[in-house]
A and B are shown apart, each in its own frame.
Chain A
């Protein structure tokens, strides 16, 4: 079983829709959690950190469920520019970053 698992998608949604992705992790000792965004043929960039209390940044909301060992990303009012691959990242210890394989989102006009 992979340490971090994501549904690869693609999720095809119309503009203005709300879409949510989940990411499950297997190691309960995992300490920090992030969502990164990767555009086609580009490098990953940090989208947001994920806190136990949940956090929101504009149209994006990230949540952590430690009991069930998953994190989620909710995107409201999807824009065409949100089309990208969203990578879940889990950190164990100081340097061990574990990336999911990504969930591909396509927002359709």
Chain B
């Protein structure tokens, strides 16, 4: 079974803090993705990566950066957290078309 894990299920941070969300997959997938999911807006793509050290902006990259130093790990970084970044963050990996999601991190920024 494909396993995608995320470092935290729930996280509470303060405005201005630097936040790291980690995602690890164990199936040697090339492609990895970070989404945020908000009520009424669905899943929106923040960044994706199709290879180690490669990254592409998604639809809403502002305020975020990513890092992919190893194939299995894709990190999302909030450089200076803001309250409008309170959301559910979902990581996914994919060998091709099907995406496998992690359990999500519910981030609250106070």
Contacts and interface: CB of A to CB of B under 8 A. Distances in A.
Interface secondary structure of B, over-half rule: strand
Interface secondary structure of A, over-half rule: strand
Interface of A: 8, 32, 34, 42-46, 49, 87, 91, 94-97, 99-102
A43 B101 contact: yes
Given A32-B97, A44-B99, A99-B43, 15 more contacts: A8-B40, A34-B98, A43-B90, A43-B102, A44-B43, A44-B90, A44-B101, A94-B50, A95-B31, A97-B33, A97-B45, A99-B42, A100-B42, A101-B40, A101-B42
Band of interface residues on B: 10 to 19
Closest 5 A-B residue pairs measured CB to CB?
A43-B101, A101-B42, A99-B43, A99-B42, A46-B98
Interface of B: 31, 33, 35, 40-43, 45, 48, 50, 56, 90, 97-99, 101-104
Contacts of B42: 87, 99-102
Contacts of A42: 103-104
